[in-house]
Amino acid sequence: MYRIPVYQPDLTGKEREYVLECLESTWISSKGRFIGEFETGFAGFIATPHAACVSNGTVALHLALLALDIGPGDEVIVPTLTYIASVNAIRYVGATPVFCDSHLDTWQMDPADVERRITPRTRAVMAVHLYGGACDMPALADICRRHGLKLIEDCAEAIGTRINGRHVGTFGDVATFSFFGNKTITTGEGGMVVCGDAAVDDRIRRLRGQGLAPNREYWHDMVGYNYRMTNICAAIGLAQLERVDEILARKAALAADYRQALGSLPLGFQASLPGEASSHWMVTVLVPTAEARGAVRQALAEAGIETRPVFYPIHTMPMYCDGQPDFPVAQGIASRGINLPSWHGLGSADVRNIAGVLATCLEGIA
């Protein structure tokens, strides 16, 4: 067990009270008051007309693609520097992922590279907001508008992230969020699909509930899925949502502490867009060389400090590597990146401890 883990959930609000209400009322499955209240509250938080909760973030992506009728023969442009779920969901619907490189400063998908990879088969762009930062949504929205493409936002790591005051997830046609245990707010497992179109929202809700017809009991008129969230998970989510502003403020303070403590070390940091307010989901640094990363992580582990490597580029994985070109920026970031402990309960003393281990290790490497 690590003395300082990368992440851990904070369940010190009304989570216990709301879950006990579920148990006492016996509403523990996919019906109950917390489902609707969590959806309404989340929609209000990000300022979107429609929000449908689902069982996890991966199925949220699957539903987003299905709701936009993306399928076999279609191409979806997606960054290679992302978590595997973004790309797997594209394969689930029979479409083809087309990878793009990242921006050197922000580490987000590079809009110029996105435009270069558009073909007559391209149907959509999937923007993945990485580590709490934001993709350049005005640029991506302009590209999609000019080329007649759908725009999907994967906001799994960006609850609370805004561009000029506008929450990510409200720039595209459909967006998805994750509430896994290491996310800014959590339901244990869970996700949300949001959109501005009532017809798309209706299709998402029907698909998540086994394709049930709206006006006939136990009659199904489309192939659907059991992707529903339980009332218990929604109860936890609502309790988390009640404290989201406090959590985001504490994460911002933690990120500032890290920047101050690590500022003199030879480390690279993820840059922000102009007008971006990051949720600071993961504090991530780049060590000087790819060769140094193993030694740095080992030194931190020996001090009881857990870290994670930055995501491996998806195009390097066996099921996606056939005929793929190199993506030098994404590969460079992935080879040197380390996620540091980032849960908002960390104190300044913890950050100083982590900085001290990093300083000693990097001095030895130099």
Q: Would you give the end-to-end CA distance of the chain in angstroms?
A: 30
What is the rounded average pLDDT of the residues 8-34?
Answer: 97
Q: In sequence order, what are the beta bridge partners of 124?
A: 76, 150
| Six-digit token string for 8 | 């851990």
Longest Cα–Cα distance of the chain, Å, equals 70
Q: Is the pLDDT assigned to residue 325 strictly greater than 90?
A: no
Q: Can you name the residues that pair with 237 across neighbouring β-strands?
A: none
Domains of the chain from N-terminus onward: 15-241 (3.40.640.10), 244-365 (3.90.1150.10)
- Tokens coding 196: 């501005």
Per-residue pLDDT, averaged over 357-361, amounts to 95
Quick one: average pLDDT of 63-91?
98
From CA 357, how far away is CA 80, in angstroms rounded?
31
pLDDT of res. 137: 98
Name the residue type at position 274. P
pLDDT at 323: 82
Interatomic CA distance for residues 36 and 18, integer angstroms: 14
Contact 53, 192 (CB under 8 A): yes
Mean pLDDT over 186-215 rounds to: 97
> What's the mean per-residue pLDDT of the chain?
97
Q: Is 0.75 topped by the overall pTM?
A: yes
**Span 189-201, mean pLDDT?**
98
The radius of gyration computed from the CA coordinates of the chain, to the nearest angstrom, equals 21
Q: Per mean pLDDT, which range of 37-51, 158-172, 236-250, 320-334 is the poorest?
A: 320-334
How is residue 239 written in tokens? Answer: 């309790």
pLDDT per residue as tens digits for the range 121-180: 999 999 999 999 999 999 999 999 999 999 999 999 999 999 999 999 999 999 999 999
Strand partners, 209: 226
Q: What number is the average pLDDT over the span 173-188?
A: 98
Per-residue pLDDT, 195: 98
Q: Which has the closest alpha carbon to 201: 311, 40, 19?
A: 40
* Confidence (pLDDT) at 38: 98
In angstroms, the CA 87 to CA 66 distance is: 14
State the pairing for strand pair 308-309/337-339.
antiparallel
Residue 72 has pLDDT above 80, yes or no: yes
Question: Average pLDDT for residues 21-26, to the nearest whole number?
Answer: 97
Question: Residue with structure tokens 């309960």?
Answer: 345
The confidence score (pLDDT) of residue 324 equals 80
- Residue-level pLDDT at 365: 77
pLDDT surpassing 90 at residue 51: yes
Q: How sure is the predictor about 366, in pLDDT bands with cuts at 50, 70 and 90?
A: low
CA dihedral 216, 217, 219, 223 (to 10 degrees): 100
Q: What percent of the chain has pLDDT over 70?
A: 100
The 3-state secondary structure of the chain reads CCCECCCCCCCCCCHHHHHHHHHHHCCCCCCCHHHHHHHHHHHHHHCCCEEEEECCHHHHHHHHHHHCCCCCCCEEEEECCCCHHHHHHHHHCCCEEEEECECCCCCCECHHHHHHCCCCCEEEEEEECCCCCCCCHHHHHHHHHHHCCEEEEECCCCCCCEECCEECCCCCCEEEEECECCCCCCCECCEEEEECCHHHHHHHHHHHECCECCCCCCCECCCCCECECCHHHHHHHHHHHCCHHHHHHHHHHHHHHHHHHHCCCCCEECCCCCCEECCCCCCEEECCCHHHHHHHHHHHHHCCECCEECCCCHHHCCCCCCCCCCCHHHHHHHHHEEECCCCCCCCHHHHHHHHHHHHHHHHHHC
pLDDT for the residue numbered 1 = 77
pLDDT of residue 322: 85
**Strand 191-195, strand 50-54: pairing:** antiparallel
Phi, psi of 52 (to 5 degrees): -120, 120
